[in-house]
Amino acid sequence: MSETTALPRGGVSDSGPQREPAGPGAVRRFPNARRAVRAAAPAVAGYAAVRAVGLLLLWMHPGPGSALQRITTLWDAVYYRDVALHGYSDDLGMPGYENGVPYSSRAFFPLYPALIRAVHEVLRLDPGGSALLVTWTASLVAAAGIFALGSHLYGHRAGTVAAVLWGVLPHAVVESYAYSEALFTALAVWSLYAVVTRRWVWAGAISTLSCLTRPTGMAVAAAVVVAAAWCLVGHLRGRGGDVHWSRPLLGAVLAPLGWLGYVGYVGWARGEWNGYFRVQSAWDSHFDGGITTARWLKAMLIGQGHRSTQLDQVVMVLVVLAAVFLFAVTLVQRHPLPLLVFTATSLLIALGNGAFYAPRARFLVPAVTLLLPAAVGLAKARSKLTLAAVLACAALASGMYGVFLTFRNPFSP
């Protein structure tokens, strides 16, 4: 049975980007690790180059504070460092948004600070250096995963362009912060790649790790579970192919365990079943289905928001609108089912956040599947020089905006 049968494309028409043939042969595209690394090298190098532009612009900025000091201590970076060094705390000494609930570091999922602690203990680097080593390594792994996914579905050139596009997003600077976005993106995209190549147990296991990295890991788990369920339906209909039914079932069971385990642990540690959600409420983070986002967009677009002229809010509006448009494109082009589920769930989580000034654009950085339509379109450019010029201009623009977010913006990016 081909992958097209096992994992259908969504949408309403057969139009869209041309895909390379999928199936058992496609799974063996990279017969060995050396060939896989060689194939991904241009994409990873291109991603590293555009992020190097962003870091160079940060380094050239006169201040306040050095670039290295800023990217290791801004906002969430401090909390990740403290969790890595001292463990979790249920009272950070600051009153939260909800009366009686102080800020708690349990809002931050454990895998990223655990890796920081491991690097710190093994290599004896300072906490900031340990965090950056984890982040920058994860970002390269993510770029390789974006290439692998895009290449498998739409060809090597599209995969390469997709990896570079991820490095020139408006908020790509957070991929170089001591933040968890890079690690989460790496795990998410490799889990999706495992799904579309029908490596079900790997998909579920990597999804579990993504669920231990950020709460949005549930978007990855949803993609694995829905795709596995579709495969199991195929088995019931006698179209199971060469994959035993137990493997997608095991993948589906594994996929959400990280999220369920951590949320359950926080509830146990705090002595209340909804402990994690109480912690999130203190940070003014809760799900309202998009009502607050709609009000925020209205305020920004018609000028009723008191921060409507702030650059970060203007860019965030553009990013949100672009994300919704690109998701519509993926539906029309009928992208594979697990990608659609991951994208839709990521959008739902990011735009459903009830905090009025939630960093929605940053929340969408890991939604790399939204980049695939643009990557396929740019990959069709006849002139490599034109394509390189477009990406270089995007790298400069992203880098300059990253300087603003790092040194000038008074709010969390």
Task: Give me the helix-helix angle, 217-236 and 181-196, nearest 10°.
Answer: 10
Q: Residue 302, Cβ neighbours under 10 Å: how many? A: 9
Q: Any idea what DSSP says for residue 271?
A: T
Q: Any idea what DSSP says for residue 214?
A: -
Q: Any idea what DSSP says for residue 19?
A: P
> What six digits make up the tokens of 200?
């079900």
Give the separation between CA 56 and CA 40, rounded to whole angstroms: 24
> Which pLDDT score is estimated for 3?
37
Give the separation between CA 40 and CA 288, rounded to whole angstroms: 40
Q: Give, in degrees to the nearest 5, the angle at Cα 222 between 216 and 225.
A: 145
User: What SS3 class is residue 171?
Assistant: coil
User: What SS3 class is residue 386?
Assistant: helix
> Which pLDDT score is estimated for 38?
87
Q: Residue 309, Cβ neighbours under 10 Å: how many? A: 10
Contact 229, 195 (CB under 8 A): no
pTM here is: 0.88
CB-neighbour burial class of residue 240 (10 A; exposed 0-12, middle 13-18, buried 19+): middle
Contact 327, 370 (CB under 8 A): yes
> Which pLDDT score is estimated for 354?
81
Q: Residue 87 — left, alpha, or beta (φ > 0 → left; ψ -120 to 50 → alpha)? A: left
> Which pLDDT score is estimated for 196?
94
> Which pLDDT score is estimated for 28?
43
pLDDT means per 10 residues, the chain with 413 residues, are 44 39 40 78 94 93 78 90 90 66 86 96 92 96 96 93 96 94 97 94 96 96 95 76 80 95 93 88 82 85 62 89 95 94 95 83 94 93 89 94 88 76
Contact 339, 330 (CB under 8 A): yes
Give the separation between CA 182 and CA 80, rounded to whole angstroms: 14
